[in-house]
Amino acid sequence: MVTVSSPPSARRVVVTGMGAISPIGNDVVSLWDSLVHGRSGIAPITSFDTAGFETTFAAEVKGFDPTAYMDRKDARRLDRFIQFAVAAALQAVHQSRLVINGEIAPEVGVLIGSGIGGLATLSENLEILRAKGPRRVSPFLIPMMIPDMAAGQVSIVLGAKGLNYCITSACASGADAIGTAFETLRRGDAKAMITGGSEAPITPIGLAGFQQAGALSRRNDDPQGSSRPFDAQRDGFVLGEGAAILVLEELSFALERGAPILGEVISYGQAGDAYHITSPAPQGEGGARAMAQALRKAGLRPDQIDHINAHGTSTVLNDKYETAAIKAVFGEASYGIPISATKSMSGHLIGAAGALEAVASILAIQHSLLPPTINYQVRDAECDLDYVPNVARPKRLTYVLSNSLGFGGHNSTLIFARYDR
C-alpha cells in the first residue's frame, strides 16, 4: 500500500464543457450511449485499399462532416486531425457557455496533445513530390502537418489568446495536455483552458508502421471482437482516430459566470520508464509511480478510488503490467476497484486516447455508471482484477483514476472527482 499525505492548498479546477469526435459517436451524448451499451466502433477500413496489409480493420470516425463546423475552404486547408480538434472544441465551448471576448480572451489558453499530427497530409504530399516535383507540393503542407496546429487553429477559431501549445508524448499526449492544463490553472496562469487530444493516424503508412511494430491485432475475421483488453486471447490494439476536448476552469471563475460544472480535476501524476522504446517497464513500474504520485498529490488513500479507466490497450504486455502496477499501488484494495478498458469499443486513439478516456471518466461520475470492457471472455491468470466484463454496471462514484501509457516510456495518471461545492 502507498502512504500519502495531504497536498498544499491550491486553486480548484473544474470541467465545464466536453466535446468528442470518435469512432463511437461524434458528440458526447452519442459517445456515452455507445459506451454504456457496449457498442464497438471497429470495422474494416473504408478510407483506403488494405490489400497486402496483415491488419485490415481500424476504428474510423464515421459520418463526420467538417463543414458542419467550418466552411468548405477552411476544411480543405486543415488536416483531418485538426478538423477533429476544432469540431470537438466548438462542442465543448458551447456546452461550457464560455464567451471568449476581448476582456477574457488573454486568460483563456489552448493546450491540445497529438502524438503524430498530420500524417495523411504528409503522406499525400510525399507522393506529389515524387510524382510531380516540389513546385506541386501544397503551400499548406507545414501548417497542416505539424502537431501543434490543432491547438493553433482552435485558438484562432475561438479567439483564445492565452498560452497556446501542444504536448507530444505518444499515447499519453491527451492526458498530459489535460494534466498540464490543470496545473496551469492551479498556479493561476489562466482562468480557463481548452484542452485534450486529437489524432488521425489511419493512413496506409500509419497502419503499416504499427503493423510492422507488431502492435496491432490481426483478427481480420472478427474486427468487432478484436480489441479485448485483459482477456487471455488478446493479440494487439486497434488503431483509432478522433478528438476529445475539455474546457477546464478555475473554480471561482466558473462560479462567477454561472458555468455548468460537470466534475473536478484533482490530480495529475507522471513518471518515465527509462526502459524501452515501445515495451512498458517490467511489472509496470513506471505506471505504478505515476498512480502513486497522483494519489499523493490528491491527498487520497488508495482505497478511496472508486473506479479506474485503464490504458487497457489489448496488447499482451501492456495489460499484464498495468494490472501488476495497479496491484502494486492499491494492494488488496485493487480487487475491489472496478476497472474499465473503453478502448475495447473505441480502439486506440493514440494521442487522443487519454482525452477520450478523461471524457468517459467524467461521464461515469455524472451518470453513476461504469462502462464495460467488452469482448472479455477468457480469464488470464495474470490479469485477475474486476474489469467490468461486457455489461455496464451502476455505481456511485466520487473519485475516478485514468491511466495513459505511451511509447517511449511515458506514464500519466489523472484523477477526477464528483464536484462538491
The overall average pLDDT reported for the chain is 96
- Residue pointed to by grid coordinates 504520485: 293
Contact 248, 261 (CB under 8 A): no
Question: Which distant-in-sequence residues (6+ apart) come within 8 Å of 71 by Cβ?
Answer: none
For the domain spanning 269-417, the CATH number is 3.40.47.10
Q: Which of 171, 307, 383, 410 is catalytic?
A: 171
pLDDT of amino acid 220: 98
- Kind of pairing, strands 57-58 and 43-44? antiparallel
Active-site residue 276, yes or no?
Answer: no
Residues 225-242: tens digit of each pLDDT: 999 999 999 999 999 999
Q: What is the mean pLDDT of residues 318-336?
A: 97
DSSP-derived secondary structure for 34-46: HHHTT----EE--
Residues 340-371: tens digit of each pLDDT: 999 999 999 999 999 999 999 999 999 999 99
What's the CA angle centered on 37, arms 33 and 38, to 5 degrees? Answer: 115
Q: What is the mean pLDDT of residues 184-189?
A: 97
Q: What is the mean pLDDT of residues 34-58?
A: 98
Beta bridge partners of 243: 21, 198
Question: Which distant-in-sequence residues (6+ apart) come within 8 Å of 204 by Cβ?
Answer: 48, 123
* Interatomic CA distance for residues 397 and 11, integer angstroms: 23
* Cell numbers at 91, concatenated: 462542442
Residues 98-142: tens digit of each pLDDT: 999 989 999 999 999 999 999 999 999 999 999 999 999 999 999
* Interatomic CA distance for residues 403 and 3, integer angstroms: 20
Q: What is the mean pLDDT of residues 305-329?
A: 98
pLDDT of residue 322 exceeding 60, the answer is yes
* 3-state secondary structure (DSSP) of residue 176: helix
Strand extents, DSSP E, 228-375: 242-250, 263-272, 307-309, 339-340, 369-370
Question: Which distant-in-sequence residues (6+ apart) come within 8 Å of 214 by Cβ?
Answer: 236
Q: What is the mean pLDDT of residues 156-163?
A: 98
Q: How far is CA 212 from the centre of its chain?
A: 24
Radius of gyration of the chain (CA): 20
pLDDT of amino acid 6: 40
Q: Count how many residues are written for the chain.
A: 421
Q: Which of 166, 307, 348, 410 is catalytic?
A: 348
Taking alpha carbons only, the member of 286, 285, 262 closest to residue 400 is: 262
Residues 250-265: tens digit of each pLDDT: 999 999 999 999 999 9
Domain spanning 13-256, CATH architecture = 3-Layer(aba) Sandwich (3.40)
pLDDT of amino acid 5: 40
pLDDT of amino acid 3: 40
pLDDT of residue 8 exceeding 60, the answer is no
pLDDT of amino acid 10: 79
Do the domains 13-256 and 269-417 sit in the same CATH topology, yes or no?
Answer: yes
Contact 244, 22 (CB under 8 A): yes
pLDDT of residue 157 exceeding 80, the answer is yes
CA atoms within 13 Å, Cβ hemisphere of 314: 32
Domains of the chain: which residue ranges? 13-256, 269-417
Contact 325, 291 (CB under 8 A): yes
* Cell numbers at 149, concatenated: 496546429
Question: Which distant-in-sequence residues (6+ apart) come within 8 Å of 312 by Cβ?
Answer: 229, 230, 318, 319, 322, 339, 340, 341, 342, 343, 344, 373, 387
Give the 3-state secondary structure percentages of the chain, helix then strand then coil, rounded to 5: 40, 20, 40
* Interatomic CA distance for residues 120 and 9, integer angstroms: 45
pLDDT of residue 7 exceeding 50, the answer is no
Contact 391, 284 (CB under 8 A): no
Q: What is the mean pLDDT of residues 193-208?
A: 98
Q: Which of 166, 311, 383, 410 is catalytic?
A: 311
pLDDT of amino acid 1: 42
pLDDT of amino acid 137: 97
Q: How confident is the model at residue 421 (pLDDT cuts 50, 70, 90)?
A: confident
pLDDT of amino acid 9: 56
* Interatomic CA distance for residues 176 and 112, integer angstroms: 9
